[in-house]
Amino acid sequence: MSQKNITLSADERLIQLARARALREKKTLNKVFREWLTHYAISFSSAKNYRKMMRELNYVKVGKHFSRDEMNER
């Protein structure tokens, strides 16, 4: 997988605090950002997939009791 560089801007004090925390966690700020970016991208995708699944299952009626035959229908 190829990696691309990006440029970010943030308050200098905030960057210092983030670097100090990353150092305590034995990570680089770059590694912390890549972890965050992965989580950010995946959580959106997961939420989108969940909403799609719920739309597809919209026909299901909550609370209905199925007979044995209905549960075994294929």
pLDDT digits (tens, 9 = 90+) for 46-56: 777 888 888 88
pTM over 0.85: no
User: Any idea what DSSP says for residue 27?
Assistant: -
Q: What is the pLDDT of residues 56-73, one digit of tens each?
A: 888 777 777 778 888 888
C-alpha–C-alpha distance, residues 26 and 13, integer Å: 20
Distance, in Å, from the CA atom of 69 to the CA atom of 39, rounded to the nearest integer, reads 43
Domain boundaries defined on the chain:
12-71
